[in-house]
Amino acid sequence: EAFLPAPWKASDVAQGVIVIGLVGLAAVLFTLIARPTLGLDPDWVALVATALLGVAMVLVAWRLGPGRYRLPISHLGLRLPRGRSKALLPWLVLLASLAFTNLSLSLVNLAGIQGLLPPPLPPALGLEHGGRVAGFLLAVVWGPFSEEVFFRGFVLPGLWGRLGFVGAAGASSLLFGLAHGVPGVMIPAFVTGLLLAWLYRRTRSIWSCTLAHSAQNGIAFAIGLR
């Protein structure tokens, strides 16, 4: 079965991006005001806000995608990968993404542009025990899954019919990069988004993309624990 391009339209995608943008802005504002006004731990607030943003991504992707057009949720890519090389491709994408990220980081260090160095991941690394477990689950499990459902399962197929694969991959990857919000992460995230878009086209499965995404975040998480 081929569900690409998707039945939902670019206008549906635009609505979804606006909603998630507003939810993300609300999450940032809540994170900034929670500590001085409510006395809450900022790391835990950031974790909860990010987790809820992921929930919003999944709900919006379903509601404006398959839900609006009365289609099975499998249209968001929630199906088994296809193709003979389905087991190998996520790891090839991971290696390519890591290679570009390391090259980008090396060039930034060589140029001495400190403002483009990525921040540590995730925000809960300063917490002990439960905070690290929660940070791991968010960074390596829930975060990659919710982002792949939204950007590759919803945005990419929704723009495909109007822009073609190349245009849709570029636009969805640009949004994916901007969603990371940090200048030092945006360009590597954009390239990773392009690789994941290609992977989704080849396998028709969000699970393949989530595997590659989770593995990369897991490596970053492990480095941050040192």
Q: How far apart are CA 206 and CA 82, in angstroms?
A: 11
217 closest CA partner among 153, 142, 155: 142
Tell me the average pLDDT across 173-186.
90
Question: Are 193 and 126 contacting, i.e. CB atoms less than 8 angstroms apart?
Answer: no
**What pTM, to 2 d.p., does this model score?**
0.90
Question: Are 59 and 16 contacting, i.e. CB atoms less than 8 angstroms apart?
Answer: no
pLDDT computed for residue 119 by the predictor: 63
pLDDT in tens, 40-72: 677 778 888 899 999 999 999 999 999 999 999
pLDDT in tens, 106-122: 888 887 776 666 665 54
| pLDDT band with cut points at 50, 70 and 90 for residue 1 | very low
Q: What is the mean pLDDT of the chain?
A: 88
pLDDT computed for residue 124 by the predictor: 47
pLDDT computed for residue 10 by the predictor: 96
Instruction: For CA atoms 10, 15, 18, 20, give the dihedral sign.
Output: negative
pLDDT computed for residue 132 by the predictor: 79
Highest mean pLDDT: which range of 25-29, 160-164, 211-215 = 211-215
pLDDT in tens, 198-210: 999 999 999 999 9
Tell me the average pLDDT across 100-110.
86
pLDDT computed for residue 128 by the predictor: 59
**Helix 183-203, helix 206-224: angle, nearest 10:** 150
CA 133 remoteness from chain centre: 20
**More confident position, 167 or 120:** 167
Tell me the average pLDDT across 181-206.
92
